[in-house]
Amino acid sequence: MDGILLVNKPKFITSNDMVIKIKKHINQKVGHTGTLDYAASGLMVLTVGKATRFTQYLQKLDKQYIAQGKLGEITDTYDSQGKVIQSNPVNITENQLREVISSFVGEYDQMPPPYSSKKIEGKRAYQLAKKGLQPPLKPVKVNIHSIEILEINIPYFKIKVDCSSGTYIRSLIKDIGDKLGCGAYMSDLIRTKVGEFSLENATDFEKILTLTSQEIENKLIPIKDALYFFDSITLNSQTEKKFKTGQKINLDLNKSGIYKVLDENQNLLGLGKYQEGVLKPEVVLS
């Protein structure tokens, strides 16, 4: 059982707990390509079996979210699960809110939330925050590709965000509130896309736990198809043997980077990194 499983995570379960339960149910190695907060729901892209060896490449895909923010309050976690640490009057117009939301499209330096999984000297930021310490976090450059305003009912607003991997929507909502001068926190979050993978094609977590191994296997996206974002190259039988044994291969390709490596029958052999005329195996499927 090897491939990609699209799962609709419900609210109020940790991503880790969900993965553990699915792993136990199918008795296979399972990885994830990016967590969702405890109170968030939506798409999680899981790697199963040999696909776990490609997890890191899937983690870098862009994301899409539908988020709701509440103006006038700031919480210590930047979301609805935290403690309100500041309340302010909301004296803004709908046009002001629209203008500020739109101003975040593009690249900007975003500060991760103190209650996040960012690692600081071997410890997670949230572990320090829970002890009352201020994690020494540094801003991260993120890219907000687009923001669609879905609904405004002050103090609430709902937006659809397309963004780079590593973007914290909690931080985006807080930054919008800060720029307006009244503060804000994220009151709801749904992840709707990871790269070209969509929530509408995902199976509910509770449903997964009722399916047989064969039924789940039928839902898996083949590894080759899941790596759609890499260009592919085909090796002949001679170079295929070299690749499988981890040897470097001299080739003439148009550009450097990671390639999806296929055999003459278009079966996936793995991933290779091409640079300066040489293809070096990165991941080799046995």
65-107 confidence digits (pLDDT tens) = 999 999 999 998 899 988 899 999 999 999 999 999 999 999 9
Joined together, the tokens standing for residue 248 give 């470097």
Contact 227, 254 (CB under 8 A): no
- Kindly give the pairing relationship between strand 232-234 and strand 257-262: parallel
* pLDDT 10s digits, 245-273: 999 999 888 899 999 999 999 999 999 99
Residue 164: DSSP 8-state? -
pLDDT of residue 270: 95
Among the ranges given (107-121, 123-137, 215-229), the one the predictor scored with the smallest mean pLDDT: 123-137
Residue 19: DSSP 8-state? H
Contact 201, 42 (CB under 8 A): no
Residue 125 has pLDDT above 50, yes or no: no
* CATH number at 230-284: 2.30.130.10
Residue 195, burial from CB neighbour count under 10 angstroms (0-12, 13-18, 19+): middle
Separation between Cα atoms, residue 193 and residue 64, nearest integer Å: 5
pTM exceeds 0.85: yes
Place of tokens 């109020």: 12
Residue 148 has pLDDT above 50, yes or no: yes
Topology agreement, domain 3-61+196-225 and domain 63-194: yes
Contact 269, 233 (CB under 8 A): no
Domain ranges, ordered by start, for the chain: 3-61+196-225, 63-194, 230-284
Stretch 144-150: mean pLDDT = 98
pLDDT of residue 112: 86
Half-sphere exposure of 244 (CA within 13 A, CB side): 13
Catalytic residues: 37
Separation between Cα atoms, residue 120 and residue 113, nearest integer Å: 13
* CATH number at 3-61+196-225: 3.30.2350.10
Stretch 181-198: mean pLDDT = 97
Q: Which residues pair with 156 in a beta bridge?
A: 70, 153
Please give the mean pLDDT across all residues of the chain: 91
Ranges of H-type helices in 149-222: 169-180, 205-208, 213-219
Contact 260, 225 (CB under 8 A): no
Contact 40, 190 (CB under 8 A): yes
Separation between Cα atoms, residue 265 and residue 246, nearest integer Å: 20
pLDDT of residue 132: 56
- Kindly give the pairing relationship between strand 63-71 and strand 156-163: antiparallel
Stretch 146-153: mean pLDDT = 98
* pLDDT 10s digits, 214-251: 999 999 999 999 999 999 999 998 899 999 999 999 98
Beta strands in the chain (DSSP E): 3-9, 30-32, 41-48, 63-71, 73-75, 84-87, 106-110, 119-120, 123-124, 140-153, 156-163, 184-194, 197-198, 203-204, 232-234, 249-250, 257-262, 268-275, 278-284
Joined together, the tokens standing for residue 187 give 């009151």
Place of tokens 């997670």: 124
Strand, helix or coil for residue 197? strand
* CATH number at 63-194: 3.30.2350.10
Q: Which residues pair with 6 in a beta bridge?
A: 45
Identity of the residue numbered 212: T
Q: Which residues contact 62 (CB under 8 A, 6 or more apart)?
A: 145, 162, 163, 164, 165, 193, 194, 195
Stretch 1-17: mean pLDDT = 95
